[in-house]
Amino acid sequence: MTVNIALPKGRLAEKTLALMKRAGILQDVGDPGRKLVFEDEGGMVRYFLVKPWDVPVYVERGVADIGVAGKDIVTENCPDVYELLDLKMGKCRMCVCAKNGYVDRPGSKLRVATKFVNTAKSYYSSLGRRIEVIKLNGSIELAPLMNMSDVIVDLVETGTTLKENDMGVVNVIAEISARLIANKTAYRFKREEIDKITSLLGALVNENI
């Protein structure tokens, strides 16, 4: 049975495709150009390239049997899928960050700019802190620089964006990496194929290649 795989475009795309190829799951991975759906030669898999935030949507709805999604997105949206494997790539951290020299006023309502609204809410609720969430879609670091927010909840990978904007990490909320996720029904009906893909990837991940 053909396994349909949702893969993320953007930052993770190259690494994900390279990993799939090394594992022998995909044969020919050339430049995808603007193409969106790829049939692999052996007919074992078909894969789609979609925006990272949409991978869990395709998997949850069963259009894709499996997919590669960041733990940040999985935690934020809690899709009803199985998380099969930590791919140990795309590593970064979900952090609270602020302008260097920022001093918190503990009793005040904290203005938090973020893409990760649920993550921010649940983090601050666990601390019992009142917040106002300002939902943004990108360039989150701009919010405190323009005094629109006190802090941000965002991903930090190399730390370059923070450094170049005179900002720093205040707290680390979670370690993030890419995960192999599966549709729950597909995992029942295509168990053998999905387990094979998982173990091929798992072997590479554990070799730390």
List strand residue ranges (DSSP E) for 45-150, in order.
45-50, 66-70, 81-86, 92-99, 110-114, 131-135
| 146 lines the binding site for ligand PRP (CB under 6 A) | no
Residue facing ligand PRP at closest CB distance: 138
Options 26-34, 150-158, 179-187, 199-207: segment touching ligand PRP (CB under 6 A):
150-158
Q: Does 158 bind ligand PRP (CB under 6 A)?
A: yes
Q: How far apart (Å, rounded) are the C-alpha atoms in residues 194 and 61?
A: 17
Using the contact rule CB under 6 A, the part of the chain among 158-166, 174-182, 190-198, 200-208 near ligand PRP is: 158-166
- Tell whether residue 168 is a contact of ligand PRP (CB under 6 A): no
The answer to the question of residue 25 lying near ligand PRP (CB under 6 A) is: no
Q: 3-state class of 59 per DSSP?
A: helix
Give yes or no for residue 147 binding ligand PRP (CB under 6 A).
Answer: no
**How distant is the alpha carbon of residue 102 from its chain centre?**
28
Question: Is 87 or 156 the residue whose CB approaches ligand PRP more closely?
Answer: 156
Beta strands in 51-184 (DSSP E): 66-70, 81-86, 92-99, 110-114, 131-135, 151-156, 167-176, 178-183
Task: Give the integer Cα–Cα distance in Å for 205 and 50.
Answer: 23
* Residue 140 engages ligand PRP in binding (rule: CB under 6 A): yes
Tell which one of 32, 77, 91, 159 touches ligand PRP (CB under 6 A). 159
- Tell me which residues touch ligand PRP (CB under 6 A): 138-141, 154-161
